[in-house]
Amino acid sequence: MQEELNLVQRARQGDQEAFAQLYETHFDKIFRYVVLKIRNQTEAEDMTQQVFVKAYESIGSYQPQGVPFTAWLFRIAHNQMVDYVRKESKKPTVPLDESLPIMDDSDLEHDVEIKIEMEKVVLATKQLTKAQREVISLRFAGGLSITEAARTMRKSEGAIKALQHSAILSLRKTLLAGENGVK
């Protein structure tokens, strides 16, 4: 944690190497968070890049005492996503095959199974409230701790735990209903 703080301080002073280390640390997390939310690999790739470009451009004005770096970075990602959703809301949904990334090219059959499973879960997340979806994305895709998710969403840790619990419960019910053929 202290190490990250040092990197952030150095990056704020224009140390590119420090920023590069922060980039490497958070790149996968941001990509997972974005791809889970927008379900379009190409767009998710572009957006992941935009998040880091934006972070690089803004890091000079970032105040570490205000919010942890991880939370700040995820807020940038969240804001980018809000803009994206606003622009894309009138466009038709991207079909599954084009939207979800192939995990591994070694086993196509396995990939297809995972994609189907992914689609079920992703559809189930649509039943969640915005706040529940955000918690799930931050926690399971972004890999944020309860504390970090709380700082990112400007909520208390207790609220995040409650949202997480209710979200999982709701997902479970939806998935179960799907398995039993209930609509």
Partner 1 sequence: MSSNKDFDNIFNECIEHLLAGEETVGQCLQRYPAYAKELEPLLRTVVLMHQVADVKPSEEFRARARYQMQLKMAQSATPPRITRRVPRWAIAACTAMLVFVLGGGAVLAAQNVMPGNILYAVKLSTETLQLKLAGSTESKTEQYIAMANERITEMAWMVNNNKTRNLQAAAYRLNNYYTSIGELAMTGTAKTTYSTAAIPAGPMTTPPAITIGITATPTVQALITEPVTTVVTNTSIVITSTPIILGTVNSNNITAAGSNGNVSNSNRTSQLLNTLNSNAAIQPSEIQQLLNSGKLPDSVKATLQQALIQSNIVYQSAINNANHQ
Q: Which residues bind partner 1 (CB under 8 A)?
A: 14, 16-17, 19-20, 23, 27-28, 31-32, 35-36, 45, 48-49, 52-53, 56, 101, 103, 114, 117-118, 121-122, 136-137, 139-141, 143, 145-146, 161-162, 164-165, 168-169, 171-172, 175
Which CB atom, from 89 or from 93, has the smaller least distance to partner 1? 93
Residue pair 73/99 in contact by the 8 Å Cβ criterion: no
Residue 117 Cβ vs partner 1, minimum distance, rounded to whole Å: 7
Residue 65 Cβ vs partner 1, minimum distance, rounded to whole Å: 25
Residue 12 Cβ vs partner 1, minimum distance, rounded to whole Å: 14
Which CB atom, from 90 or from 147, has the smaller least distance to partner 1? 147
How far is Cα 145 from Cα 149, in angstroms, rounded to an integer?
A: 6
Residue 63 Cβ vs partner 1, minimum distance, rounded to whole Å: 21
Which CB atom, from 66 or from 120, has the smaller least distance to partner 1? 120
Residue 54 Cβ vs partner 1, minimum distance, rounded to whole Å: 11
Q: Which residues of 150-183 are buried (b: 16+ CB within 10 A; e: fewer)?
A: bbbbebeeebbeebbeebbebbeebbeeeeeeee
Residue 69 Cβ vs partner 1, minimum distance, rounded to whole Å: 17
Which CB atom, from 44 or from 89, has the smaller least distance to partner 1? 44
Which CB atom, from 65 or from 180, has the smaller least distance to partner 1? 180
How far is Cα 60 from Cα 65, in angstroms, rounded to an integer?
A: 14
Pick the closest to residue 123 from 181, 175, 51 (CA basis): 175
Which CB atom, from 86 or from 130, has the smaller least distance to partner 1? 130
| Sequential DSSP letters for 72-138 | HHHHHHHHHHHHHHHHHTTSPPPPHHHHSPPS-SS-HHHHHHHHHHHHHHHHHHTTS-HHHHHHHII
